[in-house]
Amino acid sequence: MKAPVIEVRDLDLNEAVRNVSFTVAEGEVYALLGRYGSGKTTLLEILAGLRRPTGGSVRLRGADPYTEGETARPAAVWRDGGLFPGLTVAEIVDTWRRWTLDPLTRDEALRLARLTDLAGVPFERLTAGQKRMLDLALALVGRSDVLFLDEPTAGLDETADREVWSVLLMLAARGVSVVLATRDPREACRADRVGVLDAGRLVTGRDATHLRARLRAA
């Protein structure tokens, strides 16, 4: 059996995250489901290296992301996304590439996020769904094999929602490991596994099949 790509053990950050443990395999989509204030975003920030935990450990492909050399290439997409006034989609990706070691080509990043036909469109003219796809393109520029996403479809219409998930499942099929936070049980059940957070604690973690069955019975 392969070692997990993401391994979280007894993770703590004051009262926001308490004794959280879970693993994510290569190509797996893991959903963190919880209400507002349950600790989802804080936990993602720890995994993405934006906050140091007060206890426990995080391992990405066996390495401590805070103290050891990178063995994984993580990237994050946050709910608020980026703001890029005055630039076209292609110009935004080109700017991101200049800040990135060994980046994907512009064309490949746009293709993966299905933005090829929008390369010359100014940021201000993008729909909410297209802006979210641009966020994904920027996350992928660094050849990311681990993705952290905070409520990736919040505020999107049904068509954009499906498009985002189509890309996420395509990336997972290519071996990218995905952890996403959501308040929506129906979104969580699209994942392979679901962890339910309450007041910073992981109160249950299981295959998403159980959640799907509960939603169908509701």
d(CA 215, CA 218): 5
Strands ordered across the beta sheet of 17-24: 17-24, 6-13, 55-60
Structural domains of the chain ordered from first start: 1-72+145-218 (3.40.50.300), 83-142 (no CATH)
Full DSSP string of 28-62: -EEEEE--TTSSHHHHHHHHTTSS--SEEEEEETT
Q: pTM for this structure?
A: 0.89
Average pLDDT over residues 114-137: 96
Going by their DSSP bridges, the two strands 6-13 and 55-60 should be labelled as antiparallel
Mean of per-residue pLDDT scores for the chain = 89
Nearest-CA neighbor of 5 among 68, 66, 71? 71
Amino acid type, 100 = T
* 56-113 residue pLDDT tens: 999 999 888 887 666 778 999 998 877 888 999 999 999 999 999 899 999 999 999 9
Length of the chain, please? 218
Q: Taking residues 156-177, what's their average pLDDT?
A: 95
Banded pLDDT at 205 (limits 50, 70, 90):
low
CB 151 within 8 A of CB 183: yes
**CA–CA separation, 148 and 15 (whole Å):** 22
